Copies of this chain bind each other. A is one copy, B any other.
């Protein structure tokens, strides 16, 4: 399969079309864009058959992308609005898989001690959990309250245990009807860092974006539906260089300074060659914008509120 270097279905669809010089989607892929306001945009990608699944390497299912512009300087109202959009989309997706009072487990993947990886655990700290209240203090909770629990299982490097093994154990014991997994993704573009949320009902492969693949978290492995809520927080240097190279050659072309070879370079995807040239010199870093602390803090507020209101 083509190496898309992104976990976002809409980025993959675009790359696929560009690589194959197609004007429209292939059969089996339906896309739809919905601008919410000046700074928020929702994109829906539906993958409906196996050819489409194979083409862009994402399982059959629905992928919703919410983009928030300028999240670094987002103010209270913008954060609130973005969280409302997430609530609406998440509610709709939940409605397809579970009943109103079905037990839900929210899982925040990542490492609280590494800023670009801390989003999942930070969100978990703000989830309004109710499962224990329903068990121990039923008199204090409305009888229509949905049991919600939340865990932050850590990462393989600090636990020594596959996330899937930890979650399997917990799910077997507490038997929720659905899992929402929050994870940091890799993206192809710096502008999307901590500014985009992808919702999908097809599960997730933690660490997939950074070539550090872990065991899949999905209905197939966990036995219950998995809604994945992924947010790009890092980019690989080779990806940045590849994209910037295109921008740079475009500029040379505009200035008529280009040549056939460069034009061809731009048509092709040079990621693999760039990566190969950077790797031996250990230059292929995973990078993050300088302002990642603020970006993560604002996105945490959006995701935590979005989930709390949907549940």
Contact = CB atoms under 8 A, between A and B. Distances in A.
Interface string A139-174: 000000001111111101111111001101111111
A270 B248 contact: yes
A248 B291 CA distance: 28
B115 A158 contact: no
A286 B190 CA distance: 10
Q: So how many copies of this chain end up in the complex?
A: 4
Nearest to A165: B173
Contacts of A112: 112
Given A114-B293, A160-B149, A290-B286, A248 B274 contact: yes
A116 B166 CA distance: 26
A124 interface: yes
A interface, by DSSP: helix, strand, loop or mixed?
helix
In the A-B complex, the 6 residue pairs with the closest CB atoms? A169-B169, A129-B160, A131-B160, A149-B160, A251-B277, A169-B173
A26 interface: no
A125 B290 CA distance: 17
B241 A245 contact: yes
Contact of A170 (B169, B282, B292): B169
B149 A152 contact: no
A218 to B, nearest CB: 17
22 contacts: A129-B158, A131-B160, A131-B161, A132-B159, A132-B162, A148-B160, A151-B154, A152-B152, A161-B174, A166-B170, A170-B170, A240-B241, A240-B287, A245-B248, A248-B273, A248-B274, A250-B277, A251-B276, A261-B261, A287-B290, A288-B290, A288-B292
Contact of A240 (B240, B261, B277, B288): B240
Interface residues of A, number: 75
Interface in A248-280: 248, 250-252, 259, 261-262, 270, 273-274, 276-278
A194 interface: no
Nearest to A70: B282
Interface in A164-217: 165-166, 168-174, 190-191
A290 B116 contact: yes
A98 interface: no
